[in-house]
Amino acid sequence: MNQLVHSYKNLTADTDSAKETGRTNDPARTMAEILAVATHEFADKGLTGARIDAIAAATRTSKRMIYYYFGSKDGLYLAVLEEAYRRMRTIESDLHLDDLPPMDALKKLVEFTYDHHRDNEDFIRLVMNENIQRGDYLRKSQSIQQLNFNAIASVKAVYDRGVAQGVFRSGLDPVDIHSAISAFTFFNVSNRHTFGLIFQDRASQDKATTLKRVHVVELIQRFVSHSISA
């Protein structure tokens, strides 16, 4: 059982720590604030560079309280990863893709993913940092794996409907579709500084974001359509 699960099962704050910091005894709110600040700290500085002291100061808590809830720095980092994926997949599950024709559902999914990544640079940086760790912490989390299984199931449901209706070509793996969506939407954020500087890419500027979004949708739609031979 990871530290996040343990913490949520013990929502009784450390009274002494609360007195030290002057905070009210509201464990759920305190944990949410710690996670929010820690998300930016880990995204900005990575696992090694992030400091629990900085997180405690920004949340008016103490190191002891943070360790009480999350067990350790590693436990807090894993909790941040889990919350970042959970937040994205929760919103994604509310898109009601089953209510739309397959091509429209795919368009909505790609647009959502593009917008999420564009508006949540901390998420992109967290994923980049976890790749530096070779996925060691993500591997420990059953909840992240389950959340992403659900994401693939959602893509598969849209794709299968499209194939059945003759809209999408057959023979594609939903994981490959998800990978393509992730690649196009992730790169625009993860590499925009270096790509923009090296190639003087004007499309990296905010004013061109809408056009890039349209291009990404079109690329994915063409990938799954009959216009490309299998």
Q: What is the pTM of this model?
A: 0.82
Residues (pLDDT < 50) of the chain are 1-20, 229-230
Q: Where are the beta strands (DSSP E) in 116-188?
A: none
> What tokens were used for 150?
């659900």
CATH superfamily for 3-71 is: Homeodomain-like (1.10.10.60)
CA distance 154 to 43: 28
Torsion of CA 113, 190, 203, 92, to 10 degrees: 10
- Find, among 104, 109, 102, 131, the residue nearest to 190 by Cα: 131
> What tokens were used for 167?
């809209």
CA distance 221 to 223: 5
Output the pLDDT for position 199. 79
Provide CATH 1.10.10.60 ranges for the chain.
3-71
Q: Residue 120 in 3-state DSSP?
A: coil
The matching CATH number, chosen from 3.40.50.1980, 1.20.1560.10, 3.30.1490.20, 1.10.357.10, for 78-224 is 1.10.357.10
Output the pLDDT for position 23. 54
Report whether 176 contacts 168 (CB < 8 A).
Answer: no
Output the pLDDT for position 195. 82
Task: HSE, CB side, 13 Å, CA atoms: give it for residue 211.
Answer: 7
